[in-house]
Structure 1
Amino acid sequence: MDWDKLRIFHAVADAGSLTHAGDVLHLSQSAVSRQVRALEESLNATLFHRHARGLILTEQGELLFDATRAMTKRLDAAAARIRDSEEEVFGQLRVTTTIGLGTLWLAPRLPKLYEQYPDLNIELMLEERVLDLPMREADVAIRMKEPSQADLIRKRLMAVRMQLFASKEYLERNGMPASIEDIGEHRLVCQNTNAPQVGASSNLVGHLMTYDVKSTLMVNNYFGVLQAVANHLGIGVLPNYLSQDFPNLVRVLPDVQSVEVPVYLAYPEELRHSKRIAAFRDFVQEEIIAYRKQMRDQ
């Protein structure tokens, strides 16, 4: 169907008058009438009952008006999302990152962002799978490696290392290991090396397991590892950014850690001017700066 004819039909149905619809559309009454008749002919249906007091939709007209009303609402919503590129920060923002970083670092900081932008609606998509940003599976990503997809704007945020942590109570009961050789006498809490994760973590766990570790607890994400460590189950392999937000964790064997894992923020080139993206990007960068400062002061 011709969109111009549908647009004119919608205006007529909404106004209930050819004249009023013409005023809204800046068209003559005769031009509006011709377009409506042409649409009726193309559909082989009568869309309006015409009488002296105006126009009333027929049953077929009601069906078409429901459809054009839904289309108009979706177009208005799309226009609102486009406007936010130039005006206010509002609407939906789909953020993807890993379960660990999203649950343990990003989510606890989001209240500050909502305080600044209460009309923002964030959808956190937490999974290890890399979503396709150019195909708009998400709007913005925080990834534990440099994105390889084309047409992305990317910014390195920080570097993370996997380190060993335990609770004070666990160490009081079981003692602090003096060297890496002692790790075999403790329960190791970590992600399974076959689980989706950054290679640096898997490599560190593989290395630790060569020291004849007698007891392990394997979990498929860092949130589970943290909960086990916080409940005194053993020495856990966890990202170092947790030391800021969980002061009850005690660093174990400071010389034992993974290589650096770069953390990048990325979003599609087409969203370069989006106010929602800019607000989220600036917020994350400010939190990273605060995190780095606090880590230096510790």
Structure 2
Amino acid sequence: MDWDKLRIFHAVADAGSLTHAGDMLHLSQSAVSRQVRALEESLNATLFHRHARGLILTEQGELLFDATRAMLKRLDAATARIRDSEEEVFGELRVTTTTGFGTLWLAPRLTKLYAKYPDLKIDLMLEERVLDLPMREADVAIRMKEPSQADLIRKRLMSVHMCLFATQSYAEKIGLPVTPDALSAHRLICQNPRSAQVGAGATLVSELMSNDISSLLTVNNYFGVLQGVLHDLGIGVLPDYLAHDFPQIVRVLPDIASTEVPVFLAYPEELRQSKRVSAFRDFIHEEIIAYRRTLRD
């Protein structure tokens, strides 16, 4: 099968338009159209439904688009691997992690990484969805559970517990509960039960709600929960690592905590020799060591 025709087909399928695909490929619309028709003839199949607003893939077109998308991702991976074996630490590194960990722990520490590697370009993708590392949706992942995908190098970084926090000023103005049932006199700030979150946090919130909580503020991520706590709206359910970076918050009911949440760093086996990945991995390792040292002090 002619690779040039497949490349042009993929561009058309991705853009949904002959004209837009031609612009990206620096080809005329008629040249793109001829290549697509030639591919359809060679396959004896119709790949697009054509209508006034653009092009829609047929069932056969969807099958071929899935195949070309996988091929291009593999080519991107091979290209990155070749470049990483020769280059210094520069270029783009796509890092995925959860919104909470990415905004509250990782992003504030990236200053040190950029100071060491100013030509590195981090694309930080914060979402709860688990991206497919072998298919190169991202280069590196930090996840709140051990990755299950095959062909990944994985390293356990640390453990996190969800705990109760309030500000020192809230404690001075309102006071803090000394028993779980006294939580009913306070507003609880936590993630919405319907939002994506670690199971340990959801379980802890469910247990806390049994204390007849009368006032509640729910947010769909931990960054929002933290903002509520910092503005003295109540007592929040937050990761324990925040106690180091936000000294104005204090533990509430220290005996209450979620079960352990393991934090893993993972990247594809094929990026083992990547200088960008190695630089990021070593940076994270150094930051974890520094974080653990503060816990001992």
**TM-score interval, normalised by the smaller of the two chains:** 0.7 to 0.9
Relative to structure 1, the CA distance from residue 234 to residue 271 in structure 2 (aligned partners, 3 Å threshold; closer, same or farther) is: same
1:157-198 per-residue CA deviation (whole Å, 9 max, x = no partner) reads 000000000011211221111111111111000001221000
Which residue of structure 2 lines up, in the alignment, with residue 28 of structure 1?
none
2:222 matched to 1:222?
yes
1:293 offset after TM fit, Å? 0.5
1:138 offset after TM fit, Å? 0.3
Equivalent residue of 1:233, what SS? coil
2:204 matched to 1:204?
yes
The whole-number CA distance in structure 2 between the counterparts of 1:2 and 1:226 is 51
Which residue of structure 1 lines up, in the alignment, with residue 160 of structure 2?
160
1:2 offset after TM fit, Å? 9.4
1:278 offset after TM fit, Å? 0.4
Which residue of structure 2 lines up, in the alignment, with residue 9 of structure 1?
none
Alignment check: 8 A CA contact 2:81 2:271 kept:
no
2:282 matched to 1:294?
no
Which residue of structure 1 lines up, in the alignment, with residue 273 of structure 2?
273
Which residue of structure 2 lines up, in the alignment, with residue 83 of structure 1?
83
1:218 offset after TM fit, Å? 0.2
Report the residue type matching 1:133 in the other structure. L
Segments of 4+ in structure 1 off by > 3 A?
Answer: 78-81
Which residue of structure 1 lines up, in the alignment, with residue 100 of structure 2?
100
2:241 matched to 1:235?
no
Q: Is the radius of gyration larger for structure 1 or structure 2?
A: 1
Alignment check: 8 A CA contact 2:90 2:117 kept:
yes
Alignment check: 8 A CA contact 1:86 1:273 kept:
no
Q: State the TM-score, normalizing by the size of structure 1.
A: 0.73
2:124 matched to 1:124?
yes
Alignment check: 8 A CA contact 1:81 1:91 kept:
no
Q: State the TM-score, normalizing by the size of structure 2.
A: 0.73
The whole-number CA distance in structure 2 between the counterparts of 1:123 and 1:132 is 16
Equivalent residue of 2:112, what SS? helix
1:85 offset after TM fit, Å? 2.7
Which residue of structure 1 lines up, in the alignment, with residue 35 of structure 2?
none
* Percent identical residues: 70
Which residue of structure 2 lines up, in the alignment, with residue 256 of structure 1?
256
Report the residue type matching 2:118 in the other structure. P
1:82 offset after TM fit, Å? 2.6
1:84 offset after TM fit, Å? 2.6
1:8-59 per-residue CA deviation (whole Å, 9 max, x = no partner) reads xxxxxxxxxxxxxxxxxxxxxxxxxxxxxxxxxxxxxxxxxxxxxxxxxxxx
1:107-137 per-residue CA deviation (whole Å, 9 max, x = no partner) reads 0000100111111100000000000101110
Alignment check: 8 A CA contact 1:95 1:124 kept:
yes
Alignment check: 8 A CA contact 1:86 1:274 kept:
no
Alignment check: 8 A CA contact 1:153 1:267 kept:
yes
Count of residues paired in the alignment: 227
The whole-number CA distance in structure 2 between the counterparts of 1:280 and 1:115 is 13
Equivalent residue of 2:130, what SS? coil
RMSD value, Cα: 2.1
1:140 offset after TM fit, Å? 0.4
1:295 offset after TM fit, Å? 1.1
Equivalent residue of 1:244, what SS? helix
